[in-house]
Amino acid sequence: MMMKGEMWSNLGSTMAAIMFIYAMFRQYFPPQLQDYISRYSKKLSNLMYPYVHITFDEFTAEWMKRSEAFLAIQNYLSGRSSAYAKRLKADDVQDSQSFVLSMDYGEEITDEFNGVKVWWAATVRSSKPQQFSSYPASDERRFYVLKFHKRDRDFITGTYLIHVLNQGKAIAADKRQRKLYSNSAGHGWSGFRSTRWTHVDFEHPATFDTLAMDAKRKQEIKKDLIKFSKRKEYYAKIGKAWKRGYLLYGPPGTGKSTMIAAMANFLNYDVYDLELTTVKNNVELRRLLIEISNKSIIVIEDIDCSLDLTGQREKNKKKDENEEMDPVSKRAKEEEKKDSEVTLSGLLNFIDGLWSACGGERIIVFTTNHVEKLDPALIRRGRMDKRIEMSYCRLEAFKVLAKNYLGIDTHPLFGEIGRLLEETDVTPADVAENLMLKSDDEEEDETCLKNLIEALKAAKEEARKKAEEEALLKAEKEQKEKEQAEKEEKEKDQSVKEDVKQGATSAKEVKENGFIH
């Protein structure tokens, strides 16, 4: 097949040479003949060279923006190239942890899809003669050329190219090292304070399997996430930005942060951990938002504390005042004084204002220990699409932890533990802490479970005592209030009686003496 392809290619080159010669001497032909030649030469060349070429450039027309199609094709071809191409080139990716092998420039490989054969060639062209340099020349143009038979045009431009793009993107997503971004305060080149995203590799091991939670609720959340990630067209159709808001609330140690990690691992998304207290103002918040990539989870932890920014700022300023300041810091501090804060309305704009729509496939997660403290505007329906309560550990959640930490599905002591967990509010973090006490060389799960039972009993006893104390305090308070009320009532009665007595004495004096004092 390759041989046949080459033959057609040679015939094509011959035709091109004939057409070139014709173009040079065209003026010597009469006009009718010129028309005739050009009509028939096109037909002839179509007949002799029945292939169509499509070029995919590395860069789009937009200045220096790498073409998504080129990258997808590179990934798509990387698997095939390593099997078929004779000359490969290795680009290191993922922080040098793995390589993408692709065919070298000048190579051609064949691909077959649904019985249709195509040829892919990687090409590089330089407009100037290349001088020796360790960097690629800036005037180099790199591109892939796809060649296929003209009879397959509809199939290739429709089905095949979509297949290549989807496959390429899926391969890229699989290989991608996900990142955990956080915004840290720094100073810009002019000395002004500014906050930027910095990142580390995201390697949190939490998954929905290891998350201690009611299985039905986990399933529901997973379904919701999958539905969201597949609904690009739906969001476009209804005219909404492709994003979804989650509110995770519950006491400390119930797994809110763990849930976020599980979500990120489940969807294969990056995580942007946004610390609002280091964001200077609403403008800076918007800038950070614009820099966030697609397929990401934006996290704002402890939102009830984050929005109360004044306290934090005052503390920072006092700390600054104690420090010896260089001119740059002084300038930055002056700038800081002029700051406006991140306001609730700024945050709401961040979530669903116009700018929030630049980019798609984003999940925004708020966490809080005190849902009742949040401003209703922040958590109204439509803004927070889903609220998830993370609650204390009950039997079902415990079973997940037992599987994670001890590797057991069942045990005779589970019954007692389940009962105790129903009677006592203990967080999964506390239970997990007890299950971790098992040492590596101690194979006795039972000892570990017994220790947990003791800890649960102690927690139950403590809760009982606390409840008793609280009841006692409440009763004492009520008694005091009752006594106070009775005392006040008595004093009121007494004063009324004295008023009446005083009134009677005055009347008697008037009667006896005929005058008023």
Ligand X SMILES: Nc1ncnc2c1ncn2[C@@H]1O[C@H](COP(=O)(O)OP(=O)(O)OP(=O)(O)O)[C@@H](O)[C@H]1O
Which residues form the interface with Mg ion (CB under 5 A)?
256-257
Q: Could you tell me the smallest distance in angstroms from the CB atom of residue 363 to ligand X?
A: 17
Rounded to a whole number of angstroms, the CA Rg of the chain reads: 38
Q: What is the DSSP string of 88-133?
A: EEEEEETTTTEEEEEEPTT-EEEEEETTEEEEEEEEEEESSPPPP-
Least Å distance, CB 220 to ligand X, is: 15
3-state SS assignment for residue 263: helix
Residue at shortest CB range from Mg ion: 257
In the complex with ligand X, which residue's Cβ is closer, 212 or 456? 212
Partner in contact with 75, chosen from ligand X, Mg ion, none, beta carbon below 5 to 8 Å by kind: none
Distance in Å, CB of 250 to ligand X, minimum: 6
The contacts of residue 173 (CB under 8 Å, 6+ apart) are: 268, 295
CA-nearest of 195, 370, 196, 180 to 264 is 180
Q: How far is the CB of 262 from ligand X (least distance, A)?
A: 8
- Find the shortest distance in angstroms from Cβ 111 to ligand X: 45
Angle at 62 between CA 57 and CA 64, to 5 degrees: 70
d(CA 183, CA 195): 6
The alpha carbon dihedral of 316, 321, 322, 327 has a sign of positive
Q: State the minimum distance, in angstroms, from the CB of residue 257 to ligand X.
A: 3
Binding partner of 260, given Mg ion, ligand X, none, CB within 5-8 angstroms per partner class:
none
| Closest C-alpha to 110, from 132, 73, 80 | 80
Closer CB to ligand X, 146 or 276, in the complex: 276
Specify the residue, 244 or 256, whose C-beta has the smaller distance to Mg ion.
256
Give the C-alpha separation, 429 to 251, whole Å: 11
HEC string of 21-58 equals: HHHHHHHHCCHHHHHHHHHHHHHHHHHHCCEEEEEEEC
Contact criterion met (CB below 8 Å) for 100 and 118: no
Shortest Å, Cβ 486 to Mg ion: 49
Nearest-angstrom CA–CA distance, 448 and 440: 12
- Binding-site partner at residue 258 among ligand X, Mg ion, none, CB < 5 to 8 Å by type: ligand X
Quick one: 172 or 455, whose CB is closer to ligand X? Answer: 455
Classify residue 27 as exposed, middle or buried by CB count within 10 Å of its CB (0-12, 13-18, 19+): exposed
For 1, half-sphere exposure in the C-beta direction (CA atoms, 13 angstrom radius) is 11
Expressed in angstroms, the distance from the first to the final Cα of the chain is: 134
CB 276, CB 350: distance < 8 Å: no
Closer residue to ligand X (CB): 175 or 386:
386
Query: Of these partners, Mg ion, ligand X, none, which one is at the site of residue 359 (CB under 5 to 8 Å by kind)?
Result: none
Give me the residues that bind ligand X (CB under 6 A), please: 211-213, 252-258, 369, 390, 428-429, 432
Q: Write the CB contacts of 451 (distance below 8 Å, at least 6 apart in sequence).
A: 434, 437
**Closest CB to ligand X among 316 and 369?**
369
Mutual angle of helices 256-267 and 215-229, in 10-degree steps: 40
CB 367 → ligand X: shortest distance, Å? Answer: 6
Query: Closest residue (Cβ) to ligand X?
Result: 255
Task: Quote the least distance from Cβ 393 to Mg ion, whole Å.
Answer: 16
Please, what is the minimum distance in Å from the beta carbon of residue 241 to ligand X? 27
> CA-to-CA distance for 178 and 141, rounded, in angstroms?
30
What value, to the nearest 5°, has the Cα angle with vertex 492 and ends 486 and 497? 125
Q: Smallest distance from the beta carbon of 371 to Mg ion, in angstroms?
A: 14
102 or 424: whose CB is closer to ligand X?
424
Quote the tokens at residue 93: 């990716």
Structure tokens, 172: 């890229």
Nearer Cβ to ligand X (245/428): 428
Cβ closer to ligand X: 252 or 311? Answer: 252
CA distances from 472 to 459, 464, 479, 483 (A): 20, 12, 10, 16
**Residue 260 beta carbon to Mg ion: minimum distance, rounded to whole angstroms:** 8
| Residue nearer to ligand X on the CB measure, 73 or 435 | 435
Residue appearing with tokens 């809760």: 463
User: Between residues 78 and 391, which has the closer beta carbon with respect to ligand X?
Assistant: 391
DSSP state of 158: I
Nearer to ligand X, 168 or 255 (CB): 255
